[in-house]
Structure 1
Amino acid sequence: MSTQTEESLDVDRLRSEFPILEREVGDGQRVIYLDNAATSQTPDRVVDAMSDYYRGTNANVHRGIHHLSQESSVSYEEAHDRLAAFVGASGGRSEMVFTKNTTEGLNLVAYAWGLRELGPGDEVVLSEMEHHSALVTWQQIANRTGADVKFIGIDDEGRLDMDHAAELVTDDTEMVSVTHVSNTLGTINPIADLADLAHDHDSFVFVDGAQAVPHQSVDVEALDVDFYAFSGHKMCGPTGIGGLYGKEDLLATMEPFMYGGGMVRKVAFDRTTWAEVPEKFEAGTPPIAEAVGLAEAADYLDDVGLERIERHERDLVEYAMGRMAEFDDIEVYGPPADERAGLVSFNLEGVHAHDLASIMNDHAVAIRPGDHCTQPLHDVLGTAASARASFYLYNTEAEVDALIDAIDDARQLFG
């Protein structure tokens, strides 16, 4: 883990490592990319690592005796160890499964663990701020098993209601599945406290870390969670790959999620035995080049310094919310700036979020409108949609000013 905590980021230097930030669109305006909660941009060194793999090593893993296959296998296996270390898992590859994304990590646990372990009378506890990838998955698993799903409420500023959590989590609770950071509110949930609460009732804990791993130092062992999932494309890495941490003893006892080549030990006409973790959960040819790129992205973020990234984003969100507070027709959702991650969801009075995003696009400002895959949360907030600006290590206060100027343009256009 990086120990660079005191220096501020050299944002100009960092921006030079992301050529897409120099791209001009429309009538020659430079892109202002504020949609990082959806997908981050990718630095040259990650692209280079993947290109180098394809140019010099490309071969299938765990299948060949020849040099290229052996080299590819080593790179792929070492990538597991690298990502395990990145999130604080001391078990290395035996606790790190590569998936397509956070969503697949959730589905893997829901199917491989949930279908086998849940039944009538059992409960799964979520929060009202969960992404559809968690909410829909556990909802459907509950429908198939007869289990019940309950939801921890939030307070008026978007914080998790821990008193309500203490009421909902009981001895009937089998799984507590919560997001580490809300992709809509920016709320940073008290994961260690939730894990303590769940374990007091012999329940397991699954954490959606998609919005946390790219932006802050995560230690799954210090948090004492049972499962933790994240996506590569939100942490300066490639699309099509993510990670699922699971405690070694739990993963070892779970049945596979998908079947096929690469995840078996012995196959006969009448029975099959499974390979060890992680191969047991990685059927078929895996995303080898993407794993190489993801390991490089982890190195990149550690080199930049996650503590510095987190502080930089906090400064940006404080500046953005301060600018928005200058206007009484902007409603911001979620906790105060000093209690949230680097994103702001908001609405401009009288302007639908999609219309607002369209005006933003005219100014080359990229934000995300809609429900952000949190429709039930938006029902709680009393709005169908919101506009979301989300920041990362390469964003600047000048880009926040451009966001505010674009909002003002929308204000003038819609009267």
Structure 2
Amino acid sequence: MLNADHIRKDFPILSRQVNGKPLVYFDNAATSQTPQQVIDVIVDYYSNYNANIHRGVHTLSQEATDKYEAARNTIQKHFNAKHNYEIILTAGTTESINLVAQGFTSLLKEGDEIIVSALEHHSNIVPWQMLCERTGAVLKVIPMNLEGELIMEAYNALLSDRTKLVFVNHISNALGTINPIEYIIEKAHAVGAAVLIDGAQSCPHIKPDVQALDVDFYVASAHKMCGPTGVGLLYGKEEWLNKLPPYQGGGEMIDQVSFEKTTYAGLPHKFEAGTPNICGGIAFGAAVDYMNAIGFEAIATYENELLAYGTQRLLEIEGLKIYGTSANKTSVISFNLEGIHPYDVGTLLDKMGIAVRTGHHCTQPIMDFFKIPGTVRASFSFYNTKAEIDALVEGVKKAKMMLS
């Protein structure tokens, strides 16, 4: 049984005050907080073995290399990749997606089709639009319904032998909807298409098994799952990573260099040009260990309780509407108060020490679908409490009274 009060002691930031009030942090879908155990790993790196990796024979370089590659192995085990070289460490989800999009430039031709969904973050839309501009491929969109769910009948109708790639998020950052990615992957593979799943929002809540999913590419960021910003991963099946050309040129990704010809290193280094975020990669591994020690089943059970409780309490407020009402969703509640701009609500909540996200959440097509400028988004993590949800409800009531 997860003990949130005990877990909260691991997070120094949760004891601070904002505007004279105890911090209530409900912006976890943007960035989760970092436990002391991960902070200690970061401090230890810079205090004791800060050095460049893979290149030095001296002790510090060897220690840093060992720790960095051990983190890669930890991440491989967590996602159940078949090989550790199928885990490419990147600057985050956005870079991971752009790496794949750039690589497919040489693999697509005019008239090929790629499919995204109406629920995507801008980082899983714009790179594919750019890919289409470079190649002449055509972008198709899986539509959504009023509950915030993808319409699978429409997806099936979009698939054809022209479909080469399908890109869908595992969980919507704006609405919390958990998409049926197993079905999406199976149907895409049936027509010979590859699939990339954006796991940025799922990895804090779910432990993905990339082999069981049979997914071709899976991407995620450390800062959504108790790790630092500026580091993430691209999982790719070995055969696909071997097909893609290098994303960037530079040191580390080479085998031999001459002015006449350069040959490239094998996986994973082929895609890891330059000095990486060494400390970030090591801390990413530590964050994965931290979350696994708590247990993802316990996390999911507890966060579902928070979601149910938060939904019930917020709907007690007259004139409050929740966007994203799928029965299969995670601990995200996007809402608006009738006649009140979400930015104004978020500003007043901040004065009460309550951190929420307002705006379109980098999902403008979703907001256009609902014909709204944005939402107030409260996103819960395993270190949040029902008492904090009560504070949010009281804060929203007060904001409504002040703004009506």
TM-score (norm: length of structure 2): 0.99
Q: Which residue number in structure 2 is paired with residue 35 of structure 1? A: 27
What is the aligned partner in structure 2 of residue 74 from structure 1? 66
SS across alignment from 1:339? coil
Q: Do the aligned residues in 1 keep the contact of 2:317 with 2:397 (CA within 8 Å)? A: no
Pick from 88, 95, 111 the counterpart of residue 80 of structure 2.
88
Listed one character per residue, the Cα deviations across residues 225-260 of structure 1 (whole Å, up to 9, x for unaligned) are 100000000100011100110001111221110111
Residues 1:25 and 2:18 aligned together: yes
Residue matched to 2:395? 406
**Secondary structure of the equivalent of 1:199?**
helix
Q: Find 2:341's aligned residue among 349, 352, 358.
A: 352
- Show structure 2 runs of 5+ residues with no match: none
Aligned pairs for 1:10-409 within 5 A: 10-26=3-19, 28-92=20-84, 94-112=85-103, 114-336=104-326, 338-409=327-398
| Contact 2:7–2:383 (8 Å) recurs in 1 | yes
Residue type at the aligned position of 1:24: Q
Query: Contact (CA 8 Å) 1:127, 1:151: kept in 2 or not?
Result: yes
**In structure 1, distance between residues paired with 2:69 and 2:207:** 23
Give CA deviations for 1:203-238 in whole Å, capped at 9, x if unaligned: 000000000011112111111110000000010001
SS at match of 1:217: coil
Match of 1:9 in 2: 2
Deviation of 1:185 (Å): 1.0
Cα distance in 2 for partners of 1:216, 1:308 equals: 11
**Contact 1:350/1:414 (CA < 8 Å) preserved in 2?**
no
2:22/2:353 contact within 8 Å kept: yes
1:277 Cα deviation after fit: 1.1
Residue 4 of structure 1 corresponds to none
Task: Give the aligned length.
Answer: 404
In 2, distance between residues paired with 1:365 and 1:177? 34
Quote the Cα distance in structure 2 between the aligned partners of 1:382 and 1:392. Answer: 29
- 1:172 offset after TM fit, Å? 0.6
Local SS of the residue matching 2:99: helix
What is the rounded CA distance, in whole Å, between the counterparts of 1:292 and 1:242 in structure 2? 11
Q: What is the SS of the residue equivalent to 1:344?
A: strand
One-letter code of the match for 1:96? I
Deviations 1:369-393 (A, max 9, x none): 0000000111111111111000101
The Cα shift of 1:90 comes to 2.2
DSSP-derived class of the 1:178 partner: strand
Distance in 1 between residues matched to 2:137 and 2:120, nearest whole Å: 18
In structure 2, distance between residues paired with 1:85 and 1:212: 17
Amino acid at match of 2:166: V
Distance in 1 between residues matched to 2:302 and 2:309, nearest whole Å:
11
For 1:208, the aligned partner's letter is: D
- Look up the SS of the partner of 2:250 in the other structure: coil
**Identity level (%):** 45
Task: Tell whether the 8 Å contact from 2:4 to 2:385 is kept in structure 1 after alignment.
Answer: yes
SS class of match (2:387): helix
Unaligned runs of 5+ residues in structure 1 are: 1-7
Q: Decide whether the 8 Å contact of 2:342 with 2:374 is kept in 1.
A: yes
Task: Report the AA paired with residue 359 of structure 1.
Answer: L
Which one-letter code corresponds to 1:223 in the other structure?
L
Distance in 2, matches of 1:328 and 1:207, equals 37
TM-fit CA distance, 1:72: 1.0
Contact 1:87–1:213 (CA<8 Å) still a contact in 2? no
Determine the C-alpha separation between the residues in 1 that align with 2:105 and 2:165: 12
Which digits, 9 at most, give the CA deviation of each residue in 1:63-116, with x for residues without a partner?
Answer: 111111111111111211111111121212x1100111100000000001x211
CA contact (8 A) 1:188 1:341 kept: yes
SS at match of 1:406: helix
Q: Tell me, in whole angstroms, the C-alpha distance in 2 between the residues paired with 1:71 and 1:249.
A: 31
Displacement of 1:167 in angstroms is 0.5
In the TM superposition, residue 265 of structure 1 has moved relative to its aligned partner by 0.5
- CA RMSD for the aligned pairs? 0.9
Say if 1:57 and 1:72, in contact at 8 Å, map to a contact too: yes
CA distance in 1, matches of 2:366, 2:159: 20
**How far, CA to CA, are the matches of 1:324 and 1:71 in structure 2?**
51
* 1:320-352 deviation line (CA, Å, top 9, x unaligned): 11112223301101124x521111111111110
